[in-house]
């Protein structure tokens, strides 16, 4: 049977059959079995490790929260808080802050929500917020129990913080509330200190899927910027726990264990990169695969040794020469002292070598031309991309890009229910500058005005030229009062600036219309965008009609 299948067939058929019989079939069988078994074992092991880490981190966080609650509850029992002298209370709270560095500040509030003592902000000369009566942490504490808030954005500096609030009692009657402010980094550092190896991480997410921690794998800020994938969030928002393999926020395949932490109203996600986890946990599996491979190779060697004896010397020489050709030596000339058939084969190989050399030269020349063309196309593409979003005169963003960013930031503000503001700026009597000094001078004034706006721009602001002498500034997630202060600073900077255009010292002023609102969740984003532009133009029109060089702020955050 073996004689018929191998020895009485053509060499090509015999080698093919032997390869299939001794290499492919055993390799597939062993490989499939080993792979399936190994993957199952590794996945169970990885999930067990991640679940252990997740439980450990949850216990650490719960202990940390319990310690903060115990600390602030104990502090609230101090008699100085129930019959306070402001300076004594401030000294008491400052001393307490030194005892627990997790708190940014400790604040005493009366039962009407009016802040009585805020030692940290008062000591630094900051303006103290008058009332917190509308805050849930105050209302919950006033009911009579210690309350830990979800992550909120601080009204004073827009930073993500949590509040620990507890009632202050006098003769069993609640007379006020003591609350402490903790930056979100205090908690994120707890999970980041106990992460699953170099290729894994632990992070916290909100119930809406926003990442609250800074990613260890990217330099760009991720807190409150990245929206998590649906797989873990669907479980977390229901207050549950789970594990699965999915694509994470970096679009990498990962093992993930996730759960809701009711104590801090956040989700905890522990991930490990899928491929790296297999490598770290699969040593035994790979040893089995290696042993199987060695056995298979040994069978192949035995087969080759057995069958090679039946090959003639001319064929071995042909193999050597063909290997030279495979390595790129196309100049070999084969001349065999052999039978006619082998000589014909040698001539065919020589012809193939010459053809391959010619084809290689042609291909290299074609590749070189294609690379040059591709480089030119890439440069043109980048140039067109920059032109499509940039105003040619000022170098700022153009009208098209401004509308795109306004739509994106409005949608984000609507999702987060945060403020978004638009400043519409127009140079006063700019036509007089053009008529008096010429359009070239007017263009220089526009460029210098653009530089002023650029120097006043914050990292999250979007600044651009809307058309003519009209400019737009988009400011997301900032309170109305601070936005108006920004607009006033721009107006004052322009008023104080002397424009040097073609040796002409020119003074111009700017009128600014400002609108601030919180988009309604039910209102279409495009409609909100048009409302922002319309209200900003209305404010600009009022500023122009009231004497120019003014800022008119339309604050719609309270539905006005």
- Per-residue pLDDT tens for 419-463? 999 999 999 999 989 988 989 999 999 999 999 999 988 888 999
Burial 505-515 (b: 16+ CB within 10 A, else e): ebebbbbbbbb
Question: For the ranges 211-215, 508-512, 525-529, 552-556, which has the lowest average pLDDT?
Answer: 211-215
Q: Are 121 and 157 in contact (CB under 8 A)?
A: no
The reported pLDDT for the residue numbered 492 is: 95
> What would the mean pLDDT of 112-130 be, rounded to a whole number?
71
Please determine, for residue 482, whether its predicted confidence score (pLDDT) is greater than 50.
Answer: yes
Q: Token pair for residue 162?
A: 């949590």
Convert the pLDDT of each residue in 275-309 to its tens digit: 888 887 765 666 677 677 777 767 766 665 655 55
What's the mean pLDDT when you consider all of the chain?
82
Tell me the C-alpha distance between 93 and 75, whole Å: 9
The reported pLDDT for the residue numbered 180 is: 93
Give the Å distances, CA to CA, from 471 to 36, 64, 163, 329, 413. 62, 49, 40, 66, 22
> What would the mean pLDDT of 212-221 be, rounded to a whole number?
72
The reported pLDDT for the residue numbered 477 is: 94
- Number of Cα atoms under 13 Å in the Cβ half of residue 292: 19
Nearest to residue 205, comparing CAs of 196, 215, 195? Answer: 215
Q: Are strands 470-476 and 420-427 parallel, antiparallel or unpaired?
A: antiparallel
Please determine, for residue 314, whether its predicted confidence score (pLDDT) is greater than 80.
Answer: no
Neighbours of 537 (CB within 10 A): 17
Please determine, for residue 78, whether its predicted confidence score (pLDDT) is greater than 60.
Answer: yes
Question: For the ranges 271-275, 329-333, 396-400, 441-445, which has the lowest average pLDDT?
Answer: 329-333
Higher pLDDT, 166 or 354: 166
Convert the pLDDT of each residue in 339-358 to its tens digit: 666 667 767 777 777 777 77
Q: Token pair for residue 304?
A: 């080759």
Nearest to residue 529, comparing CAs of 412, 424, 410? Answer: 410
Query: How many angstroms from the chain centroid is the CA of residue 471?
Result: 30
Convert the pLDDT of each residue in 21-54 to its tens digit: 777 778 777 768 777 777 788 888 888 888 888 8
Tell me the C-alpha distance between 458 and 453, whole Å: 10
């Amino acid at each position: 049977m073996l004689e018929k299948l191998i020895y009485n067939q053509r060499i090509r058929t015999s080698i093919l059959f032997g390869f299939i019989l001794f290499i492919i079939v055993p390799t597939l069988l062993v490989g499939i079995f080993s792979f399936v078994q190994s993957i199952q074992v590794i996945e169970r092991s990885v999930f067990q490790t991640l679940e252990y880490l997740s439980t450990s981190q949850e216990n650490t966080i719960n202990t940390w929260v319990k310690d903060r609650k115990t600390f602030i509850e104990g502090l609230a029992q101090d008699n100085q808080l129930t019959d306070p002298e402001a300076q004594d209370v401030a000294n008491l709270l400052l001393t307490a802050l030194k005892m627990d560095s997790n708190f940014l500040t400790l604040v005493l509030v009366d039962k009407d929500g009016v802040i009585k003592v805020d030692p940290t902000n008062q000591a630094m000369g900051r303006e103290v917020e008058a009332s917190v009566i509308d805050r849930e942490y105050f209302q919950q504490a006033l009911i009579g129990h210690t309350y830990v808030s979800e992550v909120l954005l601080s009204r004073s500096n827009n930073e993500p913080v949590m509040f620990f609030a507890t009632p202050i009692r006098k003769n069993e009657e609640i007379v006020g509330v003591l609350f402490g402010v903790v930056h979100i980094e205090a908690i994120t550092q707890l999970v980041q200190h106990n992460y699953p190896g170099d290729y894994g991480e632990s992070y916290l997410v909100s119930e809406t899927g926003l990442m609250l921690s800074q990613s260890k794998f990217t330099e760009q800020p991720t807190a409150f910027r990245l929206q998590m994938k649906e797989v873990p969030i669907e479980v977390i928002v229901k207050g549950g726990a789970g594990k699965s393999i999915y694509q994470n926020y970096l679009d990498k395949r990962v093992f993930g264990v996730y759960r809701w932490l009711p104590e801090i109203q956040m989700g905890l996600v522990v991930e490990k990169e899928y491929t790296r986890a297999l490598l770290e946990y699969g040593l035994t599996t790979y040893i089995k695969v290696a042993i199987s491979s060695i056995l298979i190779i040994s069978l192949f060697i035995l087969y080759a040794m057995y069958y090679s004896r039946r090959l003639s010397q001319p064929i071995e020489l042909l193999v050597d020469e063909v290997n030279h050709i495979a390595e790129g030596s196309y100049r070999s000339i084969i001349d065999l002292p052999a039978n006619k058939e082998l000589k014909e084969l040698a001539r065919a190989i020589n012809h193939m070598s010459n053809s391959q050399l010619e084809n290689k030269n042609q291909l290299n020349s074609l590749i070189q031309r294609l690379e040059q063309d591709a480089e030119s196309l890439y440069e043109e593409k980048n140039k067109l991309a920059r032109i499509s979003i940039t105003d040619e005169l000022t170098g700022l963003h153009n009208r098209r890009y401004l509308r795109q960013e306004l739509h994106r930031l409005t949608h984000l503000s609507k999702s987060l229910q945060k403020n978004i503001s638009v400043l519409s700026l127009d140079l006063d009597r700019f036509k007089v500058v053009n008529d008096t000094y010429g359009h070239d001078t007017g263009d220089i004034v526009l460029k210098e005005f653009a530089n002023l706006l650029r120097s006043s721009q914050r990292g999250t602001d979007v600044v651009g030229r809307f058309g003519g002498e009209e400019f737009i500034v988009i400011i997301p997630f900032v309170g109305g009062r601070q936005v108006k202060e920004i607009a006033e600073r721009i107006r004052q900077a322009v008023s104080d600036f002397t424009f040097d255009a073609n040796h002409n010292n020119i003074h111009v002023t700017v009128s600014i219309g400002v609108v601030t609102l919180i988009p309604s969740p039910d209102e279409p984003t495009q409609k909100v965008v048009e409302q922002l532009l319309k209200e900003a133009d209305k404010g600009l029109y009022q500023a122009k009609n009231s004497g120019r060089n003014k800022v008119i702020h339309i604050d719609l955050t309270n539905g006005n």
